[in-house]
Amino acid sequence: MKLYCLSSDASKPCFVLSFKELLIMLDCGLSAHSVLNFLPLPPVPSTRLASLPNYTPPHVNDPLLEGELKECCGRVFVDSIPEFCPPLDKVVDFSQLDVILISNYTCMMALPFITEETGFKGQVYATEPTLQIGRFYLEELSEWVSSCGSSSGAAKRWKELVHLLPPPLALAARPRAWRRLFSPAALARALSRVRVVGYDERVDIYGALDATAVSSGFCLGSANWVLRSAHEKVAYVSGSSTLTTHPRPINQAALRGADLLVLAALTQTPAHNPDHMLGDLCVHATVTLRAGGSVLCPVYPSGVLYDLLECLSAHLEGAGLAHVPLYVVSPVADSSLAYSNILAEWVSVGKQARVYLPEEPFPHAALVRAGRLKHARSLHDDAFSADFRQPCVVFCGHPSLRFGAAVHLVELWANNPAHAIIFTEPDFPYVEALAPFQPLSMKAFHCPIDTSLNYSQANKLVRELRPRELALPEQYAGGGARPHISADAPTVVVRRGAARSLSVRRRAARATLCGALAARATPRELRAGLRAAPLSAALRVRDARLELVAPPGPAPAPAPRLHWSALDVEALVRALTREGVTEARVEASADGCIVHLPRHDTLVHVERHATHVFCEGRADVRQALRRAIASCLPHI
């Protein structure tokens, strides 16, 4: 068994596990940090961004670099369509992958990079909410990146000169591997490959393994995967949460006692408690709204958004601000809000109980009916512009502030200190996200809400699960004073591009023995509690499942297959006499003795662990010899 790591971002993991001649990809996260190096793509042309000065590195005169780089408040940005950092494609041949298992919708964004135009022929498995919400994320991303026009060609020259550029651009990891986002067509093709599974559904992987998605408690439909064969068990824990929020709670029992535990996607903000952050956010929002300012929350179209809507609406109501409108702006806002309310089977028990009344599991449907929550496809929707009033709270993407409606709103509100922007998504450092909008007068708050396991929770979980071996991305391994995962079990550390052998060793395969064949065997006790019998079985292999059946034809008397211990020569001579083979002469030899049967032209070399019969005579003599030897040795 081997584990390959293809992603450098531990919270957007991508592993490949080779086991039983299968290549299994675990998650395909897309690292979007790279987009922070690009200039924002405003949905409406922005004069400020357009008039930023060009940047040329000192002492470089390269006409090809012309116009590729711009400077804003001392930072250099690439003026081009943003690019992403997909999983490494040189380590594993994607066309050889047998299956891709996706744990949750934040870890599947690179799917088209892997399945399209790579010769991929395998299966992709995800839960239904993962597929649907993943589709919202991907479609939103794709619409925003592509709607901003591809007027400017991709800037490439700067990648040759990275070493000459100022940080943080100079520190960009392998910019040459960065890729532009896939086309909507490729996206649709990739999503159509996904096969939907339910929690605790055993998925048969080519007869070799069972894969089961078990609830991980992180978001709607989020799953940890358990791979099981008759003798081995691997647990892949990615994006799990032991906190109580809207999704179904984590199923720990299913992960226990694995031969290998792969741990990924822990919290990205271990220093921030999500509950406190949610409280802070409500307070900041209230203060801003009271002062007549508006609040912008750059968010993804699903996930924590549902909790934000639930908490913030209740909090505003308590603060006497129930009249403040809440807006969700996204190409998929309507679908995302509607969809969340039909996923009764994937939510927590408390929310599920509401369905039995029947009421929607999330309160945002009621907020929409009451007119407090409004959603729009984009900022320039007619209905939305007509209805828009301030102060208000706007939830829109993208959290990186490089594309999407949020770019326009930040541009619009940047100069007014009454407004506030509150960052809740943990994927991007907020200072960097805001860098191209500097100087900025609006208030910026950082309230990251990441419900994934933090280090102490993860350590506790690993202790409870008792894996025989643990595999981690290097970010989570020990080293200095920073928090890390430590376990009693042997730990394998992987980093991007690495392949590590694991200690799981296969010894046996599971088969079924048919009754007729079992009846032929007559096991004898060899030792207390252990019985054995020689057996010849016809092997039938169907769908990689093994069956042992009786070989056709009449059942032969089972021939002894195994003899053991040393041969007593005197007993042999007696036995030979009984068989009618007489005149045996016994001579000592170097490592045993030789029994000579001159009348039958036969020599028997008897050693401690072997008997060699040189038999020139007739077959009946040989049979007599066989019987005689067998009678002197214990056998089955």
Partner 1 sequence: MPEIKITPLGAGQDVGRSCILLSMGGKNIMLDCGMHMGYNDERRFPDFSYIVPEGPITSQIDCVIISHFHLDHCGALPYMSEMVGYTGPIYMTHPTKAIAPILLEDMRKVAVERKGESNFFTSQMIKDCIKKVTAVTLHQSVMVDNELEIKAYYAGHVLGAAMFWIRVGSQSVVYTGDYNMTPDRHLGAAWIDKCRPDLLISESTYATTIRDSKRCRERDFLKKVHECVEKGGKVLIPVFALGRAQELCILLETYWERMNLKYPVYFALGLTEKANNYYKMFITWTNQKIRKTFVQRNMFDFKHIKPFDKSYIDNPGAMVVFATPGMLHAGLSLNIFKKWAPYEQNMLIMPGFCVQGTVGHKILNGAKKIEFENRQVVEVKMAVEYMSFSAHADAKGIMQLIQYCEPKNVLLVHGEAQKMEFLKDKIEKEFKISCFMPANGETAVINTPTKIPIDVSLRLLKAEAVRYNAQPPDPKRRRVVHGVLCVKDNRLSFLDIDEICDEIGINRHVIRFTSTVRFDDPGSAVKTAEKLKTLLAEKLQGWSITISDGNISVESVLIKVEGDDDNTKSIYVSWTNQDEDLGSYILGLLQSMVQ
Residue with token string 């395909």: 28
Nearer to partner 1 by Cβ, of 348 and 416: the residue is 348
Nearer to partner 1 by Cβ, of 163 and 507: the residue is 507
Q: How far is the CB of 601 from partner 1 (least distance, A)?
A: 10
Cβ distance 575 to 611 under 8 Å?
Answer: no
Torsion sign (Cα): 210, 211, 212, 216: positive
Residue 63 sits at φ, ψ, to 5 deg, of -60, -25
Cβ distance 298 to 398 under 8 Å?
Answer: yes
Nearer to partner 1 by Cβ, of 155 and 226: the residue is 226
> Among candidates 268, 278, 220, 283, which has minimal Cα distance to 248?
220
Q: How far is the CB of 634 from partner 1 (least distance, A)?
A: 8
Q: How far is the CB of 359 from partner 1 (least distance, A)?
A: 8
Nearer to partner 1 by Cβ, of 127 and 451: the residue is 127
Rounded Cα–Cα distance for residues 291 and 394 (Å): 16
Q: How far is the CB of 307 from partner 1 (least distance, A)?
A: 20
Nearer to partner 1 by Cβ, of 162 and 533: the residue is 533
Q: Which residues contact 106 (CB under 8 A, 6 or more apart)?
A: 11, 12, 29, 137, 219, 239, 265, 303
Cβ distance 21 to 102 under 8 Å?
Answer: no
Cβ distance 362 to 351 under 8 Å?
Answer: yes
Rounded Cα–Cα distance for residues 56 and 76 (Å): 9
Nearer to partner 1 by Cβ, of 460 and 608: the residue is 608
Structure tokens at 216: 């991980």
Q: How far is the CB of 313 from partner 1 (least distance, A)?
A: 21
Q: How far is the CB of 272 from partner 1 (least distance, A)?
A: 34
Q: How far is the CB of 53 from partner 1 (least distance, A)?
A: 45
Nearer to partner 1 by Cβ, of 156 and 627: the residue is 627
Q: How far is the CB of 188 from partner 1 (least distance, A)?
A: 14
Beta pairing partners, 326: 373, 393
Cβ distance 595 to 567 under 8 Å?
Answer: no
Nearer to partner 1 by Cβ, of 311 and 615: the residue is 615
Nearer to partner 1 by Cβ, of 58 and 382: the residue is 382
Whole-Å CA distances, 474 to 24, 311, 396: 21, 36, 33
Rounded Cα–Cα distance for residues 532 and 538 (Å): 18
Q: How far is the CB of 411 from partner 1 (least distance, A)?
A: 30
Q: How far is the CB of 523 from partner 1 (least distance, A)?
A: 5
- For residue 92, count CB atoms less than 10 angstroms from its CB and return exposed for 0-12, middle for 13-18, buried for 19 or more: buried
Nearer to partner 1 by Cβ, of 101 and 165: the residue is 101
Nearer to partner 1 by Cβ, of 8 and 251: the residue is 251
Q: How far is the CB of 606 from partner 1 (least distance, A)?
A: 10
Residue 370 sits at φ, ψ, to 5 deg, of -80, -5
Q: How far is the CB of 425 from partner 1 (least distance, A)?
A: 24
Beta pairing partners, 471: 262, 492
Cβ distance 125 to 101 under 8 Å?
Answer: yes
- Interhelix angle 569-578/619-632, rounded to 10 degrees, is 130
Q: Please give the order of strands across the beta sheet that includes 592-597.
A: 585-589, 592-597, 602-606
- C-alpha radius of gyration, the chain, whole number: 35
Nearer to partner 1 by Cβ, of 91 and 546: the residue is 546
Rounded Cα–Cα distance for residues 63 and 238 (Å): 46
CA atoms within 13 A of residue 473's CA, in its CB half-sphere: 22
